[in-house]
Amino acid sequence: MRRREFITVVGSAVTWPLAAHPQQAGVPVIGFMSSRSLEDSTHLLAAFRQGLGETGFTEGQNVAIEFRWAQGQYQRLPEFAADLVNRRVAAFTAVGGETSALAAKQATSTIPIVFSSADPVKSGLVESYNRPGGNATGYALITTEMEPKRFGLLHELVPGVPLIGALLNPSVPEAARQSSELEQAARAVGRRLFIAKASDDDGLHAAFSLLLQQGIGALLVAADAYFDTRRDRIIAFAAQNRLPAVYHFREYAVAGGLVSYAPSITEAYRQVGVYTGRVLKGEKPADLPIVHPTKFDFVINMKTAKVLGLEIPPTMLARADEVID
Residue 174 DSSP SS3: coil
Q: Where are the beta strands (DSSP E) in the chain?
A: 29-34, 64-69, 91-95, 113-117, 136-140, 163-168, 192-197, 218-221, 245-247, 259-263, 296-301, 322-324
**From the first residue on, what is the mean pLDDT of each consecutive set of 10 residues in the chain (325 residues)?**
34 34 70 95 97 97 97 96 97 94 96 93 93 96 91 95 97 91 95 97 98 98 95 98 97 97 95 98 97 93 97 95 95
Q: Phi and psi at residue 300, in whole multiples of 5°?
A: -120, 130
CATH number for the domain formed by residue range(s) 144-248: 3.40.50.2300
pLDDT value of position 295: 86
- The confidence score (pLDDT) of residue 176 equals 92
What pLDDT score was predicted for residue 97?
87
Q: What's the confidence (pLDDT) of residue 145?
A: 86
pLDDT at 143: 87
Distance of alpha carbon 133 from alpha carbon 168, whole angstroms: 32
Give the Cα separation of 29 and 106 in Å (integer).
20
User: What fold is seen in the domain 18-142+264-295?
Assistant: Rossmann fold (3.40.50)
pLDDT, residue 142, reads 86
DSSP state of 55: T
Please state the pTM of the whole predicted model: 0.87
pLDDT the model gives residue 240: 98
Backbone angles phi, psi at 170, to 5 degrees: -80, -5
| β-bridge pairing 296-301 and 259-263 | antiparallel
Report the alpha-carbon distance of residue 62 to residue 54 in Å, rounded.
13
Identify the pLDDT of residue 25. Answer: 58
The ranges of the chain annotated as CATH 3.40.50.2300 are 18-142+264-295, 144-248
